[in-house]
Amino acid sequence: MSKYPTGVENHGGTLRIWFIYQGARVRENLGVPDTPKNRKIAGELRTSVTYEIKTGTFNYASRFPSSPNLRRFGFIKPGVKLSEVAKNWLELKRMEITKNAHSRYVSYIKICTEIMGPDKPVSSFNNEDILKVRKELLTGYQICGIHQKNRSIKKGRTVRTVNVYMNCLGGLLRFAELNGYIEKSPMSGIDPLRKSRSDPDPLSKEEYQRFLDACPSEQIRNLWVLAINTGMRHGEISALAWEDIDTRDWTITISRNIAIKGYFTPPKTECGNRVINLTDAAIQALKSQMAYTRMGKQHEISVNLREFGRERIDQCTFVFVPRLTARNGMGGDWYAPGSFGATWNDILKRAGIRHRRAYESRHTYACWALSAGANPNFIASQMGHTSAQMVYNVYGKWMTDNNVDQMSILNANFSSDAPLMPQVASQQ
């Protein structure tokens, strides 16, 4: 068997060469089988590389365009298309985020790359190009087809949505920078657009009664009574099973959510795993719902856990079954995410109530609870927030309604004798 030329070695059955560049020993895999002929060719390549280094004519990116060492020495991978980098990033991102989040990332990046030009080299974009993308997302943009009739105008998006798109695009470009596709991310120095916070718009008690009177069926009525009186997320209601409900102490254990049709996950956050204490109205709604679904079919479902590739099996008799209220009898055995939001809009129209988003059911619970004097920490735990700070930030102005009541409590207690102070243990 022939010997290896200087600087040529076997690595896992294929050949690689090593050489000294900028004072460091580097290795480059050639990806060819270890044969006598290939050893000779590899030796000649290594000799050529060392000569170019010695004479100052060596171009690392040209010699080894796919080398992981390019980033190490400040080179970029030339001519890689934006769409190729996006595909790589999205595939690797799949292991970090939920399936629902990943599908949104795919949508955001698809739209951004359509505006930028997916076939352009990722290294060709500068800061001005990114600012133009942001402007077009905000004001609307045109995607051109080959023929005039294929041209389409996309409407502008809200500031909040544009910031989400730009944050996602920034992640892609940061990935490109860290992996040697570009020298520096063109997102540098671009701050999020300022946005005004939209206040919650809860139902009033009078509107709530009109809303219930306009519900088309008892099951739909029960669903919205539960939503408004617990503050549960709509995906949690869709995934709610009788196995989650304690009908003696009347609590609900939240451990499941549905964000994509047919795809169950844990709740949105770790704090979303919680036990909800039910109000009298919520209890009555569940008692009414028992007649419809409590003895229904039990389903075995897979819940995809946060750790990539892991899942658990739950036995679920779903509380709300759309098949029972579907006019054509073709509904499913549980609600898909967002599917019962249409009933909210229909009921508002029936009742002659000003339109709000269906998510205001959750805001209604929080605002009513604060107005009733409930502890913000308790409300946060019931709604699945990390801390009461979210409650203070979003619903703070509803807390001022209780100032008079709070002063009454203080006056009633402070008017009596001073409370006993904690005593320091006497020293022996």
Examine the domain organization and report whether 296 and 247 are in the same domain. yes
Mean pLDDT score, 37-42 = 93
Catalytic residue among 39, 93, 362, 363: 362
Examine the domain organization and report whether 386 and 290 are in the same domain. yes
Confidence band for 182, pLDDT divided at 50, 70 and 90: confident
Examine the domain organization and report whether 129 and 167 are in the same domain. yes
Q: 11 an active-site residue?
A: no
Asked whether the beta carbons of 267 and 254 are under 8 A apart, the reply is yes
- Residue 374's pLDDT is what? 85
Q: 234 an active-site residue?
A: no
Q: Which amino acid is at 349?
A: K
Give percent above pLDDT 90 in the chain. 60
Q: 362 an active-site residue?
A: yes
Mean pLDDT score, 219-237 = 95
- Residue 403's pLDDT is what? 57
Domain annotation covers residue 118: yes
Examine the domain organization and report whether 171 and 210 are in the same domain. no
Given a cut of 80, is residue 181 above it in pLDDT? yes
> Using one digit for the tens of pLDDT, what is the confidence trace for 121-143?
998 999 999 999 999 999 886 55
Catalytic residue among 77, 134, 233, 256: 233
Examine the domain organization and report whether 273 and 366 are in the same domain. yes
> Using one digit for the tens of pLDDT, what is the confidence trace for 322-348?
988 776 666 788 998 778 888 999 999
- The most confident of 35-49, 88-102, 145-159, by mean pLDDT: 35-49
Residue with tokens 């995934």: 239
Domain annotation covers residue 302: yes
Domain annotation covers residue 190: no
Examine the domain organization and report whether 261 and 366 are in the same domain. yes
Domain boundaries, position 94: 82-178
Domain annotation covers residue 45: yes
Q: 268 an active-site residue?
A: yes
Bridge partners, residue 265, by sequence: 257
Mean pLDDT score, 280-288 = 96
Examine the domain organization and report whether 305 and 365 are in the same domain. yes
CATH of the domain at 268: 1.10.443.10
Confidence band for 408, pLDDT divided at 50, 70 and 90: low
Give percent above pLDDT 70 in the chain. 87
Examine the domain organization and report whether 130 and 59 are in the same domain. no
Catalytic residue among 268, 292, 294, 359: 268
SS (H, E, C) the chain: CCCCCCCEEEECCEEEEEEEECCEEEEEEEEEECCHHHHHHHHHHHHHHHHHHHHCCCCHHHHCCCCCHHHHCCCCCCCCEHHHHHHHHHHHHCCCCCHHHHHHHHHHHHHHHHHHCCCCEHHHCCHHHHHHHHHHHHHCEEECCCCHHHCEEECCCCHHHHHHHHHHHHHHHHHHHHCCCCCCCCCCCCCCCCCCCCCCCCCCHHHHHHHHHCCCCHHHHHHHHHHHHHCCCHHHHHCCEHHHEECCCCEEEECCEEEECCEEECCCCHHHCEEEECCHHHHHHHHHHHHHHCCCCCEEEEEECCCCCCEEEEEECECCCHHHCCCCCCCCCCCCCCCCHHHHHHHHHHHCCCCCCCCHHHHHHHHHHHHCCCCHHHHHHHHCCCCCHHHHHHHHHHHHHHHHHHHHHHHHHHCCCCCCCCCCCCCC
> Using one digit for the tens of pLDDT, what is the confidence trace for 360-405?
999 999 988 888 888 889 999 999 988 888 888 888 777 655 555 6
Would residue 361 be called left, alpha or beta, if left means φ above 0 and alpha means ψ between -120 and 50 degrees? Answer: alpha
**How far apart, in Å, are the Cα atoms of 306 and each of 203, 219, 324, 399?**
35, 32, 32, 35
> Using one digit for the tens of pLDDT, what is the confidence trace for 308-318?
888 999 999 99
Number of domains the chain contains: 3
Given a cut of 70, is residue 413 above it in pLDDT? no
Domain annotation covers residue 2: no
Say how many CA atoms lie within 13 Å of 116 toward its Cβ.
Answer: 30
Task: Work out the mean pLDDT of the chain and round it to a whole number.
Answer: 87
Confidence band for 294, pLDDT divided at 50, 70 and 90: very high
- Residue 79's pLDDT is what? 79
Examine the domain organization and report whether 65 and 40 are in the same domain. yes
- Residue 396's pLDDT is what? 77
- Residue 415's pLDDT is what? 55
Q: 312 an active-site residue?
A: no
Examine the domain organization and report whether 252 and 366 are in the same domain. yes
- Residue 147's pLDDT is what? 45
- Residue 174's pLDDT is what? 92
Domain annotation covers residue 331: yes
SS (H, E, C) 61-82: HHHCCCCCHHHHCCCCCCCCEH
Asked whether the beta carbons of 168 and 78 are under 8 A apart, the reply is no
- Find the range with the poorest average confidence among 169-173, 198-202, 287-291, 343-347: 198-202
Domain annotation covers residue 415: no
Examine the domain organization and report whether 280 and 357 are in the same domain. yes
- Two tokens, residue 420: 């006993």
Examine the domain organization and report whether 158 and 295 are in the same domain. no
- Residue 386's pLDDT is what? 84
Domain annotation covers residue 120: yes
- Two tokens, residue 28: 């480059």
- Residue 402's pLDDT is what? 55
